[in-house]
Chain A
């Protein structure tokens, strides 16, 4: 067993990362081939484009026990489909406001641009998110509504 599991009192945050096929997924791949170590807490879900990241997927991730989510794609102007990330950006800007009004913990929803060359950025960001979520603890509020029948 990983010795770190013991030191944190058993809680290991689950992070779901929705990443695009063309940039962030390759960034994560680069982190791997460069042997840049990042926590295994992140579950990567590969989608064609951030424009495909339906907000329902974020809700679903929390429903199935995620403690934080990350959505990441190509930098503006780099989208494989020319404008998918621009569309996504506008949607997130509004979706964050809705989550805020609902009282969903905004410290658990992360957005980033990571290119195929930014393996190190992926490693750094994921490590940071995992550490931050570890401090926040399990997302009890959402787990409670899931548990209630």
Chain B
């Protein structure tokens, strides 16, 4: 499959269909997998595909320095592909001007502190029902195998993995939940890695960086940490595709994606909306229906 991927990218580069290919390569310390930008067809062997390709590469698509490289091809997993769809729907990329190379992903493994794969699948992969990336231009890998894996996960998609963690949290009393987040957010150092790793947090100037007036404490006070994490989660309401890049990037190991998941579940339950499912879909927030539920309004 890796060779198949390399051949496809080589062809795209050789035929000048694209100027740069954004893919995975062993670029980190000790051969850890990260993003590589291949512009020369003779260098496609730098590309890899394996269960350690954790990053969501779609984060690079809206970066000006990447846009300056020319027309991109991008390697995406099922979850990442949804982020590309949202970027296109929100006008951040011209979908016609990006070649999306989807891969059949059989699940990504977690890593220990030194970056070595643990052999266990990530929580998001346990509930994944898009092993073959959707809305792509080229699909690499065995689609039949992907369908098999999808079917195996489908019965547990709403209950296993992260959903189970969220359900356990919601079983607690509000006071216990508040205490839980208080403990979690007290470890937040406000490095904003969650923001930087997120393909959909693309504002040129983040509200958290504004200090005239200061909307959110810029230092890592507990009050500011609450405000920041509420802001980050809610700015992704109806947009987050659940790729888990934020939690993976968090050096404090906070389960940030539980907040996003709660909003994704609410979007699905209240409005039947799943972010990144459909190219051309209207954004959830920014549109409305006259019969939206309002039993909480007096």
Contacts and interface: CB of A to CB of B under 8 A. Distances in A.
Interface in A87-131: 87, 89-98, 100-106, 110-113, 125
B31 interface: no
Interface string B243-269: 000000000000000110011011100
Contacts of A135: none
B298 A93 contact: no
A103 B174 contact: yes
A112 B298 CA distance: 4
Interface string A30-66: 0000000000000000000000000110011001000
B182 interface: yes
A148 B166 CA distance: 27
A145 B293 contact: no
Nearest to B233: A98
Interface stretch (B102-110, B119-127, B135-143, B284-292): B284-292
Contacts, number: 124
A94 B259 contact: no
20 contacts: A59-B227, A60-B227, A76-B290, A86-B289, A86-B292, A87-B285, A90-B284, A90-B288, A90-B289, A92-B297, A93-B266, A93-B292, A95-B237, A96-B296, A100-B170, A101-B169, A112-B298, A145-B223, A148-B221, A149-B222
Contacts of A60: 215, 227
A63 B179 CA distance: 17
Contact of A110 (B227, B288, B298): B298
A110 B237 CA distance: 20
Contacts of A110: 298
Please classify how large the interface on chain A is, using the bins under 10, 10 to 19, 20 to 34, 35 or more. 35 or more
Contact of A83 (B259, B284, B288, B294): B288
Given A97-B263, A102-B181, A113-B297, 4 more contacts: A93-B294, A101-B177, A103-B177, A145-B182
Give the most central of A90, A105, A106, A146: most B CB within 10 Å: A90
B297 A89 contact: yes
B11 to A, nearest CB: 44
B27 to A, nearest CB: 36
A-B interface, 5 closest residue pairs, ranked by CB to CB distance from nearest:
A103-B177, A103-B178, A86-B288, A97-B266, A101-B262
B270 interface: yes
A104 to B, nearest CB: 7
B259 A101 contact: yes
A141 interface: yes
Contact of B263 (A86, A87, A94): A94
A102 B230 contact: yes
B166 A101 contact: yes
A92 B270 CA distance: 12
Nearest to A55: B234
Contacts of A55: 230-231, 234
A118 B203 CA distance: 41
A103 B175 contact: yes
A48 to B, nearest CB: 18
